[in-house]
Each structure stands twice: as structure tokens, then as C-alpha cells.
A and B are shown apart, each in its own frame.
Chain A
Amino acid sequence: MTLRLLFIPALVLSLFVSAAHAAEERLLMMRSTQSFPETMLALQKTLGEYGYTVSRVQRVDIGLTSSGFQTDRYRIVFFGRPDETRELTAAHPGLIPYLPLSMTLYAEEEETLLVALDPTVLEEVVSTREFGFRVQRWKNDILSIMDELRED
């Protein structure tokens, strides 16, 4: 009973404290010293080497500048493994809005930034152990790809 009395306020306190913290790092980011076109080329090549297919590139900067807004180069690369994507969307339709995976690239002067969602976030959509391994593998792939691009 005493334990329970202590546990409930402790739980409430812990919830409050966690709400007070900054969000943990859930975006995977990387800065390349290479120019935007070089980084874009290297990314597409490296994704292929890791077994991913680039399904589409969205040129956000083109749309923005043609609408009269000022921006540097800003693109979104969609990618996935075809069979894996098909299998996952069939087994777990909740993942559909998040697939194919994507990476955002944008220029900062002569350097290029890459941003990707940490795929382990998707465990909030599918919480099976097997899927946990899969998103961890995706995360490792993305981090390795970023490391390779950084060192190019």
C-alpha cells in the first residue's frame, strides 16, 4: 500500500519531467562539404549501393522560385526497396503515408544538408519485434549512407 502511494506521485512526476525535456534527436541529419549537385549524385549512387531504388525526386526549389519565392536548392528524394515496400504496405497499411522513405537535401552556400526521419519513429505505427529490427536496419543504413557522403 505504502509502495503504491509512493508509486503514483512518482509516476505523475516522471510524466511531468519527461514533458519538460527537449525531444530526443529523432531526425537524422548530416552536413556535406560537397556542393549540392555532387551530394545529390552521390546520394542517389549510394542509395543504389545499399539496395534502395530512388523512386522520385521532388524539386521544391523549382516550384518555389517559379511562384516568386527566393530559395536555394531544395529537393526531396523518395526511395525504398520495391519488394519490401510492397510487402509492408500490404501487411501494415498504417505505414502507407510514410512510404516510400524520403530524404530532404538543401543547400547552405557551398555545403549541403541532408535530413531524414529516424525510421525507428515508425515503431509507433507498427510495434512488432520483427518490424523493430527492420526499422533499426533502415536507420543503420541511413546513418552509414550519411557517413559515406560526409567522407566523400
Chain B
Amino acid sequence: MMMQKSLLLFGAALISLSAAAAPDGVRLYERHCAACHGLDGQGGVGIPLALRSFQIAVEDDFLFTTIREGRPGRVMPAFQSLSDAQVSAIVRHIRGWAPERKERAVPTTTKVAYGHPERGKTLFAQHCAQCHGANGEGGHGTGVTFSRPRDLPIMAPALNNPGFLASASDQMIKKTLLEGREGTPMVSFLKAGLKEQDIDDIVSYIRSMEKAPLHWQYDREEKPTLVMESSYDLATTVESVKRAAVGMNFRIIRTQSLEGGLFPEGEQNDKQVIVYFCNFNFINQALSLDPRVGLFMPCRITVVEGEDGTVQLMAINPKYMSRLYNNAELDDACQEMTDIYLSIMEEATL
């Protein structure tokens, strides 16, 4: 009897321990997902996860692998530091928005027959490429952000993406083609006149992209900062930076000590001077590519005089920063910004 009691107590302790240790899906979702997908899954920069047609079309495995692998170059990061239990907890939370369980996708709902990839390629060009890109590279933009106007409620996913191909089953792709996604521009291609064999061919073509998916490449050698030495004194260099920035169509918005606002005036280090400058047309373009780019705004070059009297110009390297956003569309703008910084720095130190 005593033994039974002890076992019961031990069992109860184990259950309470495991309950206490179970990851909190709501909290994890709020911390890692809600900023982009919305607290209630209504979408934003990320897709609307609560959308009924999305919930019906995708499997738990799709959600799990998507969280784990992300979408290289397409904003959605890879959450590789989360444990499997944490990812599963997030998936369960996302599934809380799903309709009845019987309506959800299960791997066996839609059988995919053998398709002809070559034929599928032709059909893809005719029916899919307009939204998903000629090579399945996906639509442009970063989804809906209500602070900025968007043409579409979501952007067409990149199908030729290693993260998508690893996450999506053939059944899921076929189901989406057959039924479309209500609430998005994705229509039912069965209703649009394609036959089931046509759809199987398209699925085979999309799957064949696995042989050579589009990889997002960034330069791993890129340094975090841009540095250039000036042969002029600090004050002259600051004026030269301003002149060069204006010459590149920027507006000088402020010049201050790096310690401005941190120490009272008179106690600030006047050997570290930040020149802030802006081109609002450029900012507007960058924000339309990714609303999070404020982290390297406004443009600034810091002019620093070292203890030995040498004067240096320093700036964040936008090309290095670009990789942190996992947004291939930002790469060109960041490359352009890096080139502009270097031009201003060169001009100011001539």
C-alpha cells in the first residue's frame, strides 16, 4: 500500500514537472512570430496564418519545417535555436486558429499521380508565373503592412525556394492548385479549367525545382563597418562629408557629437562627430522593400579624431546589414547604399 502511494506520488510529480516544463506556445508565438504574422494570425509583413484556407491547406509538418528552415532570402528567418518541443508548441498555437480538425489537411487527403515536369513547366509559365515569377522566385514586396499601401493581401510565395520545397508536400501543393486559397489571389485551377492531370504535371514541375533551387547568396566576406582615413583635420573633414552628401542629393539633417543626448553639452566628446543625412525618396523606396530598415536610418557617417590626431570616417556597411534581414530584395538597395557611402567618403577625403 505504502509502495503504491509512493508510486502514485512519484507519477503525479512527474506529470506536474513535465507540465511545468512544457513550452508555452502562446508566449513563444508572441515573442518570435507575432511581430510579422500578427498576434491573432491576421498577417502583416508575414502571411495571415489564421486564414481559413491556409489552415485547411497546410499540414503540421509544413508549419514545423517552415519555422525550422525559414525561407532563404524571403524574410522568414530560420528558427534553428528553438528546440523541437518549442517549435511544436508554436505549431499547436497556430493550429488553434484552424477550423474543425476534420477539415484540416492530412498527408493522405490528395493523391498525386505521376506528372510530366516538362509539360508542367509549360503550364506553369501560362498559369503561375505571372504571380510566382518565371522561375518560381515569388512575388515582390514583404506582405501587408498597414502603415504602407500594398497591392495584394499577401505576396505570392517563392516556390523555387529551398525552404518551401523542404516544407511543402506534393499533396499540399496539389490541394492548393485544386482548391485555391480563399481570401488570397490564388484561384482554384480546377475551376479555372485545368484538368487533374495538368495539375499533377505542375506539381511535378515544382518538385523538379529541387534539383536546382534558387539559393540566396550573400557575401560572407563583407565587413560590418566602412572605414576610410582622412588627411584633413576633423572640422574640415566634417564639412567635406556634408558637402559630398549634398552633392549626392542628400539633405543634411543634423550634425552632433556621438555623445549628444548622453552627456550634457560641454561634457560631450567633440572628437566623435556624426553627420546625419537623408534622401526621403530613397527611404521611401527602402521602406517599401522592408519596413524594418529603420535600423540603419537615417544615413550617417561618423568622423572620428584618434588620440594620435588621425581622422577617420566610419559608417555602418548596409551591404553587411542586408543579410540580417533575410530579404533578397533588399540586397540591391543595400549595395547601392554602400556604394553611396563609399562615394561620399572618398569625395570627402580627396
- Is there contact, CB below 8 Å, between A22 and B324? no
Known A29-B36, A78-B261, A106-B147; contact A22-B326, beta-carbon cutoff 8 A: yes
- Interface residue ranges of A21-69 to B (CB < 8 Å): 21-27, 29-31, 33, 53-56, 58, 60, 63-64, 67, 69
| Whole-angstrom CA separation of A115 from B142 in the bound complex | 15
- Is there contact, CB below 8 Å, between B261 and A63? no
Q: Is the interface of B mostly helix, strand, loop or mixed?
A: mixed
Q: Say yes or no for A19: interface residue by CB 8 A criterion.
A: yes
Q: Say yes or no for A113: interface residue by CB 8 A criterion.
A: yes
Contacts of A117 in B (CB 8 A): 295, 324
| Whole-angstrom CA separation of A116 from B324 in the bound complex | 11
Which residue of chain A lies nearest to B145 when distances are taken between CB atoms in the complex? A108
- Is there contact, CB below 8 Å, between A71 and B147? yes
Which residue of chain A lies nearest to B257 when distances are taken between CB atoms in the complex? A55
| Among candidates B69, B272, B283, residue contacting A60 with C-beta atoms closer than 8 Å | B283
- Is there contact, CB below 8 Å, between A108 and B147? yes
B53-86 interface mask toward A, CB cutoff 8 Å, 1 = contact, 0 = none? Answer: 0000000000000000111111011111100000
| Whole-angstrom CA separation of A53 from B268 in the bound complex | 14
- Interface residue ranges of A129-152 to B (CB < 8 Å): 143, 146-147, 150
| Among candidates B39, B69, B269, B324, residue contacting A27 with C-beta atoms closer than 8 Å | B324
| Among candidates B44, B215, B287, B300, residue contacting A71 with C-beta atoms closer than 8 Å | B287
Q: Say yes or no for A121: interface residue by CB 8 A criterion.
A: yes
Contacts of A60 in B (CB 8 A): 283, 294, 297-298
- Is there contact, CB below 8 Å, between B258 and A31? no
Shortest Cβ distance from residue B104 to the other chain A in the assembled complex, whole angstroms: 26
Q: Say yes or no for A20: interface residue by CB 8 A criterion.
A: yes
B190-198, B229-237, B238-246, B309-317: which one contacts chain A? B309-317
Known A21-B78, A74-B287, A108-B44; contact A29-B292, beta-carbon cutoff 8 A: yes
| Among candidates A58, A89, A113, residue contacting B298 with C-beta atoms closer than 8 Å | A58
A66-86 interface mask toward B, CB cutoff 8 Å, 1 = contact, 0 = none? Answer: 010111111010101010011
Q: Say yes or no for B334: interface residue by CB 8 A criterion.
A: no
Contacts of A102 in B (CB 8 A): 294-295
- Is there contact, CB below 8 Å, between B70 and A20? no
Contacts of B163 in A (CB 8 A): 22
Contacts of A121 in B (CB 8 A): 224, 324
| Whole-angstrom CA separation of A89 from B312 in the bound complex | 13
Contacts of B260 in A (CB 8 A): 55-56
- Is there contact, CB below 8 Å, between B77 and A25? yes
Q: Say yes or no for B96: interface residue by CB 8 A criterion.
A: no
Q: Say yes or no for B3: interface residue by CB 8 A criterion.
A: no
A101-129 interface mask toward B, CB cutoff 8 Å, 1 = contact, 0 = none? Answer: 01010111101011111100110110000
The winner among A99, A108, A150 for most chain B CB atoms within 10 A is: A108
Q: Say yes or no for B291: interface residue by CB 8 A criterion.
A: yes
| Among candidates A76, A96, A107, residue contacting B302 with C-beta atoms closer than 8 Å | A96
Contacts of B263 in A (CB 8 A): 82, 86
Contacts of B126 in A (CB 8 A): none
Which residue of chain B lies nearest to A80 when distances are taken between CB atoms in the complex? B262
Q: Which 7 A-B pairs have the closest CB atoms?
A: A22-B70, A55-B261, A104-B294, A72-B147, A29-B35, A67-B280, A23-B326
15 sample A-B contacts, Cβ–Cβ < 8 Å, listed by A number? A22-B69, A25-B32, A25-B81, A53-B261, A60-B298, A63-B253, A71-B287, A93-B306, A93-B312, A94-B227, A97-B300, A106-B291, A108-B146, A111-B39, A125-B225
